[in-house]
Amino acid sequence: MAKRKSGGFIETVKTVVYAVVIAIVIRTVAFEPFNIPSGSMIPTLLVGDYLFVSKFSYGYSRFSLPSFMEVPFSGRVFGSQPHRGDVVVFRLPRDTSIDYIKRIIGLPGDTVQMINGQLTINGVTVPRRPDGDYVAEGEGPRMLLKRYIETLPNGPSHDILKAGDDQPLDNTPAFKVPAGDVFVMGDNRDNSLDSRVPADRGGVGFVPMENLVGRADFIFFSIDAVDPWWEVWQWPFEIRWSRLFTGIT
């Protein structure tokens, strides 16, 4: 009987170890979960969205590994270039302990500029089509914003929000994206700290491709936690059911 108990305990330990190893392998080479803490990517991503990021989309770098497994090597293995319009998680260049999520707007060699509130890439104004109003809430006071559908060159269409075309980052210098870097912006254009603000001024600046963790693929859970946590009876009503298992574009 004692031998049987001992064997059962060992099998349980082995099962737990296998499960941990499998979880680490999946997080390292396949998918890693992230949650959205701020409104810089509204309306594409909302505060309280939980999503999976595919690690294999652009190959692997030291930043693709879980934080406790980081190893000192540079570049990417099995690397491939991202596309304009991809929503990506990356390590902030000025502090690689911080994860950010933004949309890739400019690729190496592109010239990106904001002129009177409109995005231009390589000297051409990126078309945007009005799509009504959007009420943003959850971070500070409610704001009525303008919603547009923007179409990047050789890229997909996506929604953006604008408070107006005379905001602080609506007129910028022309940014020439260096080789090996990308230029990123938030979809909530007037409430996003992104590549329009250089790293030496507390912004994001250009993002080295090495810093890309992966591409945001789909939302697996979403909750609008407005009620106190102890109000258990409210939990089912706080889940955004329509956003569960939806793709990110």
Per-residue b or e along 88-126, where b marks 16 or more CB atoms closer than 10 Å to that residue's CB? bbbbbbeeeeebbbbbbbbbeebebbbeebbbbbeeeeb
Please compute Rg for the chain using Cα positions: 21
Q: CA dist 215 to 80, 133, 210, 232, Å?
A: 12, 28, 13, 34
Closest CA to 69 of 60, 82, 77, 78: 60
Distance of CA 73 to the CA centre of its chain: 24
Closest CA to 116 of 104, 126, 103: 126
Which strands make up the sheet holding 143-151, listed edge to edge? 128-136, 143-151, 157-162
Q: Which residues make Cβ contacts (< 8 Å) with residue 54, sequence separation at least 6?
A: 30, 31, 214, 215, 217
**Candidate list 61, 64, 102, 222, residue with the active-site label:** 102
- Residue 204: burial class (beta carbons within 10 Å; 0-12, 13-18, 19+): buried
Q: 3-class DSSP state for residue 116?
A: coil
40 is catalytic: yes
DSSP code at position 203: S
102 is catalytic: yes
**Candidate list 40, 57, 61, 195, residue with the active-site label:** 40
Which are the catalytic amino acids? 40, 102
